[in-house]
Amino acid sequence: MDNTPSDTQKEPAPTPVQTNDSQEPTAMKLQDIFFDYDQFALRGDARRVLDANASVLKSDGSSVMLEGHCDERGTVEYNLALGEKRARSAKQYLVGLGVADSQMRTISYGEERPFAPGHDESAWSQNRRVHFQK
């Protein structure tokens, strides 16, 4: 008789969908940050986003790739360097907030992986970013 209730209890227990659900929103909480044209300095809005991202990263301890991106203006070489500076700037800020350096890696895609298609400021402003990839 004890085995039957245990089996019944085991059935609800394997559905810790709440744990999986809590991981999915955590991943969603890591927001991109955006930059002004030809800049890698963190804006105020970017710092607020990074503050929130730091809380998530410190609480779950997961690893993340910080991807630096640029708009299409500038040479390929210049944009690769600028994208790397953007990713490193975000990483430095997060380390300053207590996120472990070992949790984060950086890479630059320059202008090679635009988020928004188009050849105007509306598209360019969305492409000047650091994207957080778990």
Determine, yes or no, domain membership for 2: no
Q: Is 6 helix (H, G, I), strand (E, B) or coil?
A: helix
**What is the distance between the terminal CA atoms of the chain, rounded to a whole angstrom?**
45
Give me the CATH number covering residue 49: 3.30.1330.60
Residue 18: what pLDDT?
31
Task: Give me the domain span that covers residue 126.
Answer: 32-133
pLDDT tens-digit map of 19-77: 334 444 434 489 999 999 999 999 999 999 999 999 999 999 999 999 999 999 999 99
Determine, yes or no, domain membership for 21: no
Determine, yes or no, domain membership for 23: no
Determine, yes or no, domain membership for 3: no
How many domains, in total, are found in the chain? 1
Determine, yes or no, domain membership for 13: no
| Pair 107, 15: CB distance under 8 Å | no
Beta strands in the chain (DSSP E): 33-34, 64-69, 104-110, 129-133
Tokens for 28?
């969603």
Report d(CA 13, CA 7) in Å as an integer: 10
The pTM score is: 0.79
